[in-house]
Amino acid sequence: MVITKKRINVLGVETGLIEAGDPANQTIVLIHDGGYGSTADLCWDATIELLQNDYHVIAPEMLGWGHTAKMVDFSRSPYDQRIDHLTETFEVLAIQDAIFIGVSFGGSIVLRAASDLSRPWPMKAAVSVAGSLGINRKPEGVAALTNYEPTLEDAKKLTSFLVDNVDDYMDHVHKRLENSMIPGHWEAVSAPVLKNPKAPKVEPDNEYPEALSQIKVPTLFIEGEKDKLLDPGWAEQFAKHTPNGIARVLDCGHEPNIDNPLLLVNTLKEFFCEVGL
């Protein structure tokens, strides 16, 4: 099988993506995390290798990351502008009846899209890997993900929160640092921390996890037993709010797609069989 990196035009916005596998097979869409230096391939390369023989895989890059335009709409939430861009991307790609899988920030994107019936994605099932919608986050983890400068030290520190033993992933660390130097990337990812000091404080939405009750498709929540970023128990909590929700706790860190992709793919396939996909 051939893994292809592409750049497409989505309503005038350059958008990077990876495509792999036979288009005649079931389509899986992979949404990457929101860390500095992340890209579709840095986040998902090993997972794509394991999925491509049996599935048609699409891994787009969100606004601000990789080869996608470094655009920021300061009047809207970081979630909404990216969900709209991805919605248009899927229409350009003519994606139908796909399984959507996101990790960390990408997992939260998938859950928000699945529960927002006003702009539906062509979704047969949803999977959130360590995507807790900004809930249940440990303060030290939030600091590590937001206080980033493009240095090897910070790239290693950030990666250490995603995997069990960062010393096993120094090639990944160097690539993350390189990616974080893509022009406009650091600025686009850092933009949400900029606040008008004279504007009224806007409280974050509080409809989650209750709004997960709107999700109509089978949904899997994957929690890492060794996750350094999230408090334990969030996956079971979310599954209880979701009509067809299933929780799994794996022997892994925050991102098994990097740390243990074989365990992740086996868990995904078990879920697909369980819900008849």
The whole-number average pLDDT for the span 38-53 is 97
Indicate whether 90 pLDDT > 80.
yes
Euclidean distance between CA atoms 78 and 65, whole angstroms: 13
Task: Tell me the pTM.
Answer: 0.95
Split at pLDDT 50, 70, 90, the class of 75 is: confident
- DSSP code per residue over 177-231: HHHTTSTTHHHHHHGGG---TTSPPPPPP--TTGGGGG--S-EEEEEETT-SSB-
Euclidean distance between CA atoms 165 and 148, whole angstroms: 20
Q: What percent of the chain has pLDDT over 70?
A: 98
What's residue 205's pLDDT?
Answer: 62
Question: Domains of the chain (ranges plus CATH)?
Answer: 3-195+207-274 (3.40.50.1820)
Instruction: Tell me the CA distances in angstroms from 247 to 13, 153, 188, one per residue in order.
Output: 36, 34, 33
For Cα atoms 250, 166, 251, give the angle at the middle one, nearest 5 degrees. Answer: 10
Split at pLDDT 50, 70, 90, the class of 1 is: low
User: Nearest to residue 257, comparing CAs of 58, 116, 48?
Assistant: 48
**172-219: pLDDT as tens digits:** 999 999 999 999 999 999 998 888 888 877 666 668 889 999 999 999
Split at pLDDT 50, 70, 90, the class of 129 is: very high
What's residue 70's pLDDT?
Answer: 97
Indicate whether 121 pLDDT > 70.
yes
What's residue 251's pLDDT?
Answer: 94
187-192: list long-range contacts, CB under 8 Å, 24+ apart: 187/70, 187/72, 188/63, 188/64, 188/65, 188/70, 188/71, 188/72, 189/34, 189/36, 189/64, 189/65, 191/64, 191/72, 191/74, 191/78, 192/78
Are residues 159 and 253 in contact, defined by beta-carbon separation less than 8 angstroms?
Answer: no
Are residues 245 and 221 in contact, defined by beta-carbon separation less than 8 angstroms?
Answer: yes
Number of Cβ within a 10 Å radius of residue 171:
8
DSSP-H helix ranges across 131-184: 139-146, 152-160, 170-179
The whole-number average pLDDT for the span 38-65 is 97
Indicate whether 145 pLDDT > 80.
no
